[in-house]
């Protein structure tokens, strides 16, 4: 969701915060702003639009400060206006805060504060935070007033606050990510690590309920008592989180998928086998995830069935609390998430743990909340994924689930060999030649209203993920179906020229080609994706047969198609409208 960064130290904080906001643009936002302490006064600059637009409207050239906070807002409470942009201040303009999350009791708090004479300038829930601190500072210092404010608010939050004294920067988190970066010349508090990777790789991951006070040192409190938190070192470097020679992060991350599969294969066998043993011991396994991660879970259930002869329950994380009455201490929940901060997924695992069930997570971000709250963790090692759309994290999740399935079957080395065979072919699928070929298809499809996608067996979840990729970045309506469902109503949607993508494999070729012929008979334009061409196809994308790993390779051409459609329609593939990289509110 929104992006937060603050800095306090010996350098000029303003350019560091602006650069940090640029590194957080992938999270999705509609307005931006910065607050800095200059000569004992709090200066706030904010407006609606992208960073370049905002900072062309507001002059920050003369801002020099040793402490500043910045924010990119994705609207929840209140319209997209300058007044609703962060940072928010108190009545006197002496306290500034930035906030991610939702303050559930803000209406009651706002009424109470207004009755005491406080004047609000925005429609947001976040502004109450600044006024609560202001109210507390009538009798307390800044730190104590901040702590009193935390006790009064209900909801989810990552908050960073400064005041005109510029002596401290304070942060707090609950159900929304916040990390501390430690550099040689100062400290950062931010919503995500890439914001300060240009300056440091040393990080402290704050726990839920932590309050951090930063001046010349870091003090972290939990339940009012000082606590120690480990300092971790980030494996990624700043260059990995940059576009390099690519025009967009989406294309860069699509192109990294061969290396992603290599890293998946290099997983520690001991960890894979330990988790496989936990799965064997459990009585009832649930896969939970949201969006692309849910599609990986669904695909994983097919792979577990085919490779390990094992049944797995699959549900959206936000629907999982409806199933908790099935759980016992012998149940196992496997949560899949790129960020490890998805609010619905965290709620699901907490519901599971409340029933005594064990939780294992498959996650990309070390140190995330999901990692800390799980009993065991399998890291994806996909590297930073900056584009809002998940591409390489999806194929990484499928690779990890494939290895787990083969370990369950006692054939881990065979699973590794199957994935190794894909690497050379993935290089081909992400090559310029393939991209240029798929662009020809994108040129045919760029103005269509609807695209339908079908698959059977392992290709059914692939169809769902393909549809998601197309609609979330090109804004073309796309739907994925199981091939056998066509005649149960969905074929009514097909008209003359309707594009239909058909995933095929050696296992289901006869049945799915029959479905494609049904579509063709009703005027559909048929796009085949699979190992063999067929006369029913109007356009064919060859993807080698990979059996249980078919979905890893077959999704890649559709990721490229989605990217090309966005480019041809004049859209930004890295930052689709209304979407955020990490959905940290329910």
CATH number of residue 564's parent domain: 3.40.50.10490
176 burial level (CB within 10 Å; 0-12, 13-18, 19+): buried
Residue 434 is predicted with a pLDDT of: 92
Residue 25 is predicted with a pLDDT of: 77
Q: Does 537 lie in the same domain as 423?
A: no
Q: Does 443 lie in the same domain as 425?
A: no
Residue 237 is predicted with a pLDDT of: 58
What is the residue-level pLDDT of the chain in tens, covering all 586 positions?
578 999 999 999 999 999 999 888 766 678 899 999 999 999 999 998 888 888 888 877 778 999 999 999 877 777 889 999 999 999 999 999 999 988 999 999 999 999 999 999 999 999 999 999 999 999 999 999 999 999 999 988 999 999 999 999 999 998 888 999 999 999 999 988 888 988 998 999 898 899 999 998 999 999 889 999 989 887 655 555 666 668 888 999 999 999 899 988 888 899 999 999 999 999 999 999 999 999 999 999 999 999 999 999 999 999 998 888 889 999 999 999 998 888 899 999 999 999 999 999 999 988 788 998 999 999 998 888 888 889 999 999 999 999 999 999 999 999 999 999 999 889 889 988 999 999 999 999 999 999 999 999 999 999 999 999 999 999 999 999 998 877 787 888 888 999 999 999 999 999 999 999 989 988 899 999 999 999 999 999 999 999 999 999 999 999 999 999 999 999 999 888 877 665 655 5
Flag whether 223 is in a domain: yes
For helices 392-408 and 269-281, the axis angle rounded to 10 degrees is: 70
The answer to whether 353 touches 331, Cβ cutoff 8 Å, is: no
Structure tokens at 586: 């329910």
Q: Does 473 lie in the same domain as 378?
A: no
Q: Does 505 lie in the same domain as 408?
A: no
Q: Does 274 lie in the same domain as 262?
A: yes
178: closest CA among 73, 240, 99? 99
CA distance 93 to 100: 20
Which backbone phi and psi does 581 adopt, to 5 degrees? -65, -45
What beta strand segments (E) does 51-154 contain? 67-73, 88-89, 95-103
Flag whether 580 is in a domain: no
Flag whether 408 is in a domain: yes
Flag whether 161 is in a domain: yes
Flag whether 579 is in a domain: no
Q: Does 151 lie in the same domain as 37?
A: yes
**What stretch of H or E contains 119?**
none
Flag whether 196 is in a domain: yes
489 burial level (CB within 10 Å; 0-12, 13-18, 19+): exposed
524-561: b (≥16 Cβ within 10 Å) or e: bbbbbbbbeebebbebbbebeebebbbbbbbbbbbbbb
Q: Which of 46, 110, 164, 581 is flagged as catalytic? A: 581
Q: Could you say which of 414, 430, 446 is where a domain stops? A: 430
The answer to whether 131 touches 92, Cβ cutoff 8 Å, is: no
**Beta partners for 503?**
529
Flag whether 14 is in a domain: yes
Domain assignment of residue 558, given as a range: 438-574
294-313: b (≥16 Cβ within 10 Å) or e: bbbbbbbbbbbebbbebebb
Structure tokens at 341: 């901060």
Q: Does 234 lie in the same domain as 247?
A: no
The answer to whether 33 touches 70, Cβ cutoff 8 Å, is: yes
Q: Does 175 lie in the same domain as 64?
A: yes
CA distance 478 to 61: 45
Q: Does 342 lie in the same domain as 320?
A: yes
CA distance 73 to 87: 9
Please enumerate in sequence order all residues whose Cβ is within 8 A of that of 458, keeping only pairs 6 or more positions apart, or say none.
Answer: 299, 302, 303, 306, 505, 507, 548, 550, 551
Q: Which of 2, 290, 387, 500 is flagged as catalytic? A: 2
Q: Could you say which of 240, 265, 289 is where a domain stops? A: 240
Structural domain count, the chain: 3
Q: Does 255 lie in the same domain as 390?
A: yes
Q: Could you say which of 240, 274, 289 is where a domain stops? A: 240
Which backbone phi and psi does 181 adopt, to 5 degrees? -105, 140
Q: Does 390 lie in the same domain as 264?
A: yes
What beta strand segments (E) does 338-397 contain? 358-363, 376-379
**Beta partners for 162?**
96
Q: Does 492 lie in the same domain as 410?
A: no
Residue 101 is predicted with a pLDDT of: 87
Per the listing, tokens 């965290």 go with 346
What is the three-class DSSP state of 131?
Answer: helix
CATH of residue 177's domain is: 3.60.20.10
CA distance 424 to 429: 9
Flag whether 212 is in a domain: yes
CA distance 302 to 405: 10
DSSP state of 86: S
Annotation says 581 is catalytic = yes
């Amino acid at each position: 969701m929104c992006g937060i960064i603050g800095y306090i130290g010996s350098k000029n904080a303003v350019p560091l915060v602006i650069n940090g906001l640029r590194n957080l643009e992938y999270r999705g936002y509609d307005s931006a702003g910065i607050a800095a302490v200059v000569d004992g006064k709090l200066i706030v600059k904010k407006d609606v639009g992208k960073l370049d637009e905002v900072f062309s409207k507001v002059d920050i050239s003369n801002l020099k400060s040793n402490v500043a906070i910045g924010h990119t807002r994705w609207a929840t409470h209140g319209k997209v206006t300058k007044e609703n942009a962060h940072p928010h201040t108190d009545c006197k303009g002496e306290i500034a805060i930035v906030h991610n999350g939702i303050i559930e009791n803000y209406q009651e708090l706002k009424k109470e504060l207004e009755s005491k004479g406080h004047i609000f300038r925005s429609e947001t829930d976040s502004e109450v935070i600044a006024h609560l601190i202001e109210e507390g500072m009538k009798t307390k210092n800044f730190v104590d007033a901040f702590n009193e404010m935390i006790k009064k608010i209900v909801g989810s939050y990552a908050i960073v606050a400064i005041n005109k004294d510029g002596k401290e920067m304070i942060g707090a988190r609950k159900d929304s990510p916040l990390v501390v970066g430690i550099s040689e010349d100062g400290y950062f508090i931010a919503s995500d690590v890439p914001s300060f990777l240009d300056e440091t790789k040393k990080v402290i991951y704050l726990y839920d309920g932590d309050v951090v006070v930063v001046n010349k040192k870091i003090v972290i409190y939990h339940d009012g008592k000082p606590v120690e938190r480990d300092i971790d070192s980030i494996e990624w470097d700043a260059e990995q989180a940059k576009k390099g020679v690519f025009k967009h992060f989406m294309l860069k991350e699509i192109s990294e998928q061969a290396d992603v599969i290599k890293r998946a294969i290099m997983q520690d066998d001991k960890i894979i086998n330990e988790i496989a043993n936990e799965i064997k011991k459990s009585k009832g396994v649930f896969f939970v995830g949201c969006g692309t991660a849910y599609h990986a879970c669904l695909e994983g259930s097919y792979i577990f069935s085919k490779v390990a002869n094992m049944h797995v329950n699959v549900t959206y994380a936000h629907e999982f609390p409806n199933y908790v009455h099935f759980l016992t201490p012998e149940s196992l929940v496997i949560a899949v998430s790129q960020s490890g901060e998805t609010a619905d997924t965290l709620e699901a695992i907490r519901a599971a743990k409340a029933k005594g069930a064990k939780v294992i997570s498959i996650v990309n971000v070390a140190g995330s909340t999901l990692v800390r709250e799980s009993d065991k963790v399998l890291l994806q090692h996909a590297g930073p994924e900056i584009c809002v759309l998940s591409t390489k994290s999806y194929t990484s999740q499928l690779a990890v689930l494939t290895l787990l399935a083969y370990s369950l079957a006692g054939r881990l080395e065979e699973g590794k060999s199957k994935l190794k065979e894909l690497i050379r072919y993935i290089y081909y699928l992400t090559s310029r030649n393939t991209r240029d070929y798929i662009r020809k298809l994108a040129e045919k499809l760029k103005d269509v209203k609807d695209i339908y996608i079908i698959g059977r067996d392992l290709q059914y979840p692939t169809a769902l993920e393909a549809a998601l990729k197309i609609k979330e970045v090109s804004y073309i309506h796309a739907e994925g179906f199981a091939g056998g469902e066509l005649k149960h109503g969905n074929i009514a949607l097909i008209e003359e020229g309707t594009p239909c993508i058909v995933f095929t494999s050696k296992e289901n070729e006869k049945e799915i080609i029959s479905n494609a012929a049904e579509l063709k008979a009703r005027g559909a334009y048929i796009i085949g994706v699979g190992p063999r061409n067929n006369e029913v196809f109007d356009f064919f994308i060859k993807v080698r047969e990979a059996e249980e790993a078919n979905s890893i390779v077959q999704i890649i051409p559709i990721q490229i198609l989605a990217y090309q459609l966005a480019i041809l329609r004049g859209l930004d593939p890295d930052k689709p409208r209304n979407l955020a990289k990490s959905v940290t509110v329910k």
